[in-house]
Amino acid sequence: MINASSHHPIENRWRGTLPVSAHTTYASPGVPTVVEQSGRGERSFDIYSRLLRERIIFLGTDVNDQVADALVAQLLFLEAEDPEKDIQVYINSPGGSITAGLAIYDTMQQVAPDVVTICYGLAASMGAFLLSGGCKGKRLALPNARIMIHQPLGGAQGQAVDIEIMAQEILFLKETLNGLMAGHTGQPLAKITEDTERDYFLSPAEAVEYGLIDRVVDNLGGEGIITGG
Give the model confidence (pLDDT) of 115-126 as tens digits: 999 999 999 999
Q: Is 10 exposed, middle or buried (0-12, 13-18, 19+ CB in 10 A)?
A: buried
pLDDT of 93: 98
Determine phi and psi for 12, rounding to 5 degrees: -70, 160
Is the CB of residue 81 less than 8 Å from the CB of residue 1?
no
Give the model confidence (pLDDT) of 180-217 as tens digits: 999 999 999 999 999 999 999 999 999 999 999 999 99
Instruction: Determine the average pLDDT of the residues in 119-138.
Output: 98
Q: What is the C-alpha separation between 227 and 55, in angstroms, rounded?
A: 9
Predicted TM-score (pTM) of the model is 0.82
Running DSSP on this structure, what letter comes out for residue 110? H
Instruction: Determine the average pLDDT of the residues in 101-130.
Output: 98
pLDDT of 185: 98
Would you list the domain boundaries of the chain? 49-223
pLDDT of 130: 99
Other Cβ atoms less than 10 A from the Cβ of 144: the count is: 11
pLDDT reading at 159 higher than 90: no
Shortest CA distance to 57 belongs to which of 117, 143, 127? 117
Instruction: Determine the average pLDDT of the residues in 135-139.
Output: 98
Give the model confidence (pLDDT) of 3-46 as tens digits: 333 344 444 444 433 333 333 333 445 667 767 777 777 777 78
Give the model confidence (pLDDT) of 163-178 as tens digits: 888 889 989 999 999 9
Distance of CA 23 to the CA centre of its chain: 29
pLDDT reading at 227 higher than 60: no
Shortest CA distance to 99 belongs to which of 202, 190, 2? 2
Give the model confidence (pLDDT) of 56-84 as tens digits: 999 999 999 999 999 999 999 999 999 99
Active site residues: 125, 150
Cα distances (Å, whole numbers) of residue 127 to 57, 95, 124, 166:
14, 5, 5, 23
Q: pLDDT band at residue 160, thresholds of 50, 70 and 90?
A: confident
Other Cβ atoms less than 10 A from the Cβ of 55: the count is: 19
112-129 burial, b at 16+ Cβ within 10 Å, e below that, comes to ebbbbbbbbbbbbbbbbb
Quick one: what percent of the chain has pLDDT higher than 70?
A: 78
Q: Where are the beta strands (DSSP E) in the chain?
A: 21-28, 31-38, 41-46, 56-59, 87-93, 115-124, 139-141, 146-149, 200-202, 215-216
Q: Name the β-bridge partners of 226.
A: none
pLDDT of 158: 67
pLDDT of 32: 72
pLDDT of 167: 86
Is CATH 3.90.226.10 the right assignment for the domain spanning 49-223?
A: yes
Q: What is the C-alpha separation between 24 and 32, in angstroms, rounded?
A: 7
Q: What is the C-alpha separation between 205 and 218, in angstroms, rounded?
A: 12
